[in-house]
Structure 1
C-alpha cells in the first residue's frame, strides 16, 4: 500500500527507479555501451565515466536518445557532421532492447533479468506506517519499470508514471502526475529521490512552478560511483550543484525520522 489516508500524510516520497531502486550499471548502461559500439562499427565503446559525463548535462535521461547522441558525437570527433550520417533511431532502439530486454519478447532474457535490487520492500512499508505516501516517476518504459516493481519487488499496483506517460525529465509533468495519484493536498512536502542531474533539475523546475510547496531534491549515489572515494565525492558534488539538498548512498538511508528532519528545515 502506497498511501495512508491522504489527509493525514506527513510527506510524499517519489522515487526514480534506475540507479535508485535497481542497479543498472550492467543492464541499461551496458546496453547503451553495446549500442554505441554497434553503431560505431566497434570503434568506440563508452565507459561508465563517459556515460556519467553525458548524463551530467541534465538532458539525456532517455538512454535510446543518449545512445544516438554518443554515436553522433563519436563521428563528429572523426570529422563527419551528424547531418551526413544516416542513423535510424528505430534501429538503435531495437538493438538496445535486444540487449536490455533480450531476444524473447514474452519471457525476457536480457540484462534486465539480473539487475540487483537496491531496496527491501519492508522499507516502503515502513514509510506507509509512518504516514508517508510514496510512488514512482521514471524515464524507464512502463514494461521495464513494472517488471522490476511487480515481478522483482512484489508490489501490487504501484503508483507509477513511466516514459510513455509524460514528457522526459527534467520536465516535471510526470512528477506532478505521480503526486496527483497520491494526494491532491498541495501543502504536503514532497521529496524526489534520483541519481542524476536531470532528476535534480526536475525538482527545481517543480519548485519554480509551485513555489509555495516544499520540494526537496534527494540525491542517491548509483552503485557504480561508490568507489573510489574521489569518484564518489565528485558525483556527490555534481548532484548538490544540480540542486540536491542531501545525498545518500542508498534510499533506505532516508528513514522516516530523516524525512521528518528534512521537512522541518526550511
Structure 2
C-alpha cells in the first residue's frame, strides 16, 4: 500500500544548524584563498539565493573568483585548483577523525520527531548535498536513526537537479503516486521541487521552505520571500513546524 505522503528532508539547516560548521568552513576557505576576504552570512545567503550554489565547495570557489573579479582580475588569471579548495574546506569542517567544526553542529530535531510521520502513515527520508559520511554521522551517529533512506552527494547530481528527490520518491513509493513534500532551507531546494514536478507530473509535488537558524529575525521576512519566489508552497520558522497535520493541509 502506498503511503499517504512522502516527506523528504534536506539535512543542513533542517536537521542540523551548520552556521558554525559548514558556513564557518566556507568563510575560512574563502579567506584563505583570497588572503583576507571573509564573506558574511548575508554574502553567502545572497549567493545561495541565486539557486545554483547548493554545494559549499562550489560556493567557496565562486566567492573566491568573484572576489578577485572585484580586484580587476579575470577568472583565467586566478591560479586556483578546485581540489585544493575541497581539501582545505574539509580540513576545517571534518578535521581529523571528525574533530573539526562538525562538532559544533546543534541538532534541530530529535529522532522522535520523525516517528510522528510513520505513525501517520507517511514515508520519510533524506535528500542532501552533504557527503554520505557527513550525513550518516548526524543521522545515525547523533540522532540514532537506523539506516534511514538517504540520498547524499555521491548518489545524485546536486540540487536543483531533481534526480535525488525523484530517486528517493521511487524507492519509498515505487508503485503509487503519493504526494511528495520536500523540506529545505534554500532557493535551490524549492527549485528542485519545481524541476521534479516538471519531470514527474503524475505525482503531486510540494516544497516547504524553512528559515534556517543563522538568519536574523530582522532578515527572516526577506529570506522567506526568496523561498516563496523560488517555489515554496509554505514557509515555516523552524523544522518542527512541519507536522503530519501540516502535510495533510498542504496536500489537500
Partner of 2:41: 48
Is structure 2 residue 214 aligned with structure 1 residue 220? no
| Structure 2 counterpart of 1:84, from 56, 77, 88 | 77
Deviation at 1:212, TM superposition (A): 2.3
Contact 1:8–1:131 (Cα < 8 Å) also in 2: no
Deviation at 1:120, TM superposition (A): 1.4
Distance in 2, Cα, partners of 1:127 & 1:38: 43
- Matched position secondary structure for 1:30: helix
- Matched position secondary structure for 1:222: coil
Deviation at 1:10, TM superposition (A): 0.5
Is structure 2 residue 239 aligned with structure 1 residue 239? no
Contact 1:137–1:161 (Cα < 8 Å) also in 2: yes
Gaps of at least 5 residues in structure 2 are none
Gaps of at least 5 residues in structure 1 are 1-6
Contact 2:47–2:53 (Cα < 8 Å) also in 1: yes
- Matched position secondary structure for 1:14: strand
| Structure 1 counterpart of 2:51, from 51, 55, 58 | 58
Deviation at 1:228, TM superposition (A): 2.7
Q: C-alpha offsets along residues 188-234 of structure 1, whole Å, 9 cap, x if unaligned?
A: 00000000000000000011111221100000110011x333x0000
Aligned residues: 252
Contact 1:207–1:213 (Cα < 8 Å) also in 2: yes
Contact 1:14–1:190 (Cα < 8 Å) also in 2: yes
User: Aligned ranges for residues 142-181 of structure 1 at < 5 Å?
Assistant: 142-181=132-171
Distance in 2, Cα, partners of 1:171 & 1:160: 16
- Matched position secondary structure for 1:224: coil
Partner of 2:100: 110
- Matched position secondary structure for 1:157: coil
Contact 2:9–2:127 (Cα < 8 Å) also in 1: yes
4+ runs deviating over 6 angstroms: none
Partner of 1:196: 186
Is structure 2 residue 243 aligned with structure 1 residue 250? no
Partner of 1:17: 11
Deviation at 1:186, TM superposition (A): 3.7
Deviation at 1:8, TM superposition (A): 4.2
- Matched position secondary structure for 1:191: strand
Distance in 2, Cα, partners of 1:90 & 1:255: 40
Distance in 1, Cα, partners of 2:243 & 2:53: 30
| Structure 2 counterpart of 1:141, from 122, 127, 131 | 131
Distance in 2, Cα, partners of 1:187 & 1:68: 39
Distance in 2, Cα, partners of 1:187 & 1:123: 25
Partner of 1:263: 251
Contact 1:13–1:193 (Cα < 8 Å) also in 2: yes
Task: Indicate the larger mover: 133-142 or 7-16.
Answer: 7-16
